[in-house]
Chains A and B, each alone.
Chain A
């Protein structure tokens, strides 16, 4: 099986309420991706939340290179997680975690 290329994204999650857990954020991105682009794209995206600091709201996610734009668009479209309103800000994309700086 051909190995797919990965992409990493450094992001900030702005919120106007309590902390959002890694699990909550991951589920919200999965749901948004599923709702916007469907099951096949969601399955092929290989989305994974590498790290997330719930206090600062910063984190790194990874996905398939071909699905990067769709994953980021889906995350940007999230307006609330639970009762907390959020604004997802993509900061930098790279082919390696080290490249994110």
Chain B
């Protein structure tokens, strides 16, 4: 089940176009940054929409508060890679799903220490490839440098990687098979590339749906039977 974990739908009135394109490309779910009524919504055309929240605060204290408010309302919580201190905090917090690298933080790269912390907490590196579709020449080269270096660091540390489109227009979305070839271009092998497109997004979604269910208490602790039930 290929899922695009970052689609920047300008407004819900444009959702139809994205649904049509996702259907053509064989994508079964998307995580739009637009606010949704519920964490998981199934559209009329059968596309599954997962609520996504991007942390915007700059300091750890305010990030903690923001995360506390958002976590129960979103299936995906992402933090854009920034300074070492905040990135390390996000990498070490199990409630953060993705460390994002996209057009707004192209100068940043993933540090070794951050990648190792993220590997322990199950946080994945998200690469939004819209920026390399839009740019050309030296700007694209800079973006590719940042993406390829971070990909190498993440793979060396055993950190999971997710490829997402970051598309603000339906035509900027790419099919799952096309995304695997973008993975090759970023330095992944066939197995890793397929993993980033087909398995890791699904794994994160399933993990978080379990966490959002009423039976979940904490990591490794779930209510399997309530008192009075046989």
What residues make up the interface of A, taking CB atoms closer than 8 Å to B?
A: 14-16, 35-36, 69, 72-73, 76-77, 79, 85-91
Interface string of B84-121 (1 = CB under 8 A from A): 00000000000000000000000000000000000000
Chain B nearest CB from A97 CB (Å) reads 19
In the complex, the answer to whether B181 meets A73 with C-beta atoms within 8 Å is yes
Query: Which residues of A are found within 8 Å of B40, using beta-carbon distances?
Result: none
What residues make up the interface of B, taking CB atoms closer than 8 Å to A?
A: 21, 24-25, 132-134, 136-137, 169-175, 177-178, 181-182, 184-185
Residue of A at shortest CB range from B167?
A: A87
Chain A nearest CB from B15 CB (Å) reads 16
**Chain B's interface: helix, strand, loop or mixed, by majority?**
helix
In the complex, the answer to whether A88 meets B133 with C-beta atoms within 8 Å is no
Contact (A87, B25) CB under 8 Å given A76-B174, A79-B133, A79-B172: yes
In the complex, the answer to whether B185 meets A73 with C-beta atoms within 8 Å is yes
Chain A nearest CB from B188 CB (Å) reads 11
Task: State the CA gap A87–B24 with chains docked (Å).
Answer: 11
Q: Of B134, B170, B171, B181, which contacts A72 at CB under 8 A? A: B181
Chain A nearest CB from B13 CB (Å) reads 17
Query: Which residues of A are found within 8 Å of B173, using beta-carbon distances?
Result: 87
- A73-B184, A76-B174 known; 13 new pairs, CB 8 Å cut-off, are A35-B137, A69-B184, A72-B181, A73-B181, A77-B133, A79-B171, A86-B171, A87-B21, A87-B25, A87-B171, A87-B174, A89-B25, A89-B177
